Amino acid sequence: MTVVKLRDVTRVHGQVRALGGVSLEVSAGELVAVMGPSGSGKSTLLNLAGGLDRPTSGAVEIEGRDLAAVRDLAAVRRRSVGYVFQDLNLIPSLTAAENVMLPREFDGVPARRARTEAMVALAEVGAEETAGRFPEELSGGQRQRVAIARALAGERRLLLADEPTGALDTATGDEILRVLRSRCDEAGAAVLLVTHEPRYAAWADRVIYLRDGLIVDAADVRLESAR
């Protein structure tokens, strides 16, 4: 099942072509890594895939819905898409559990149910012990786990991660990839991961290289044993 589909998508900022005709599909249970030098269009691709930005031409579909036809993009983003960034992830004055609950509460989910969902999501990423603690009391790896839990709480199946291992040491970075991988393998999430580090890209089923806003090649090593 295709979770997100980009069809010949371009994005032009004034005179600058940030993305020039990219087609890409990510299925449930699939982890796709996007690599490329600075300015190659990685983050633009991620923003378009999650409906944070609209393409100049081409189409983006999330769970079968063409985003061009969607009036309330914010609602689609809240219900279908989770984001994990390198920083600016968690709200400092809320506990880990409250951070995970927040987008669900915005979506009208009653607090009690949102809290239950948050506890489930935290347990799924191995961070249940962080529930009552504030972000500043957590390690970098724990904070990223909480961010992943927040991104996947509820029924969201698409996770967009932009350099989620940015400030972490390699052992902790590997742990984050292990969590993302298990969300794909066990929960059927679709993950689009932007990274400039080959070691993390290697956790993906497919690795896409962007150069000057175009896909130049893809290493596709989907093995039966990977499932």
- Contact residues: other proteins, CB under 8 A: 37, 174, 178, 181, 197-199, 201-204, 207, 209, 216-217, 219, 221, 223, 225-226
* Residue placing its CB nearer to other proteins in the complex, 131 or 194: 194
Question: Under a CB-based contact definition with an 8 Å cutoff, are residues 194 and 43 in contact?
Answer: yes
Q: What is the DSSP letter of 91?
A: -
* Residue placing its CB nearer to other proteins in the complex, 167 or 202: 202
CB of residue 10 to other proteins, shortest distance in Å: 23
* Residue placing its CB nearer to other proteins in the complex, 79 or 181: 181
CB of residue 171 to other proteins, shortest distance in Å: 9
CB of residue 198 to other proteins, shortest distance in Å: 4
E strand or H helix that includes residue 121: helix 111-124
* Residue placing its CB nearer to other proteins in the complex, 54 or 199: 199
* Residue placing its CB nearer to other proteins in the complex, 85 or 203: 203
What are the tokens at 153? 């709480």
What are the tokens at 198? 């080959």
What are the tokens at 28? 């449930």
CB of residue 203 to other proteins, shortest distance in Å: 5
Beta bridge partners of 16: 13
Could you count the other beta carbons within 10 Å of the beta carbon of residue 205?
21
CB of residue 106 to other proteins, shortest distance in Å: 36
**Extended strands (E) in 28-122:** 31-35, 57-62, 65-66, 81-85
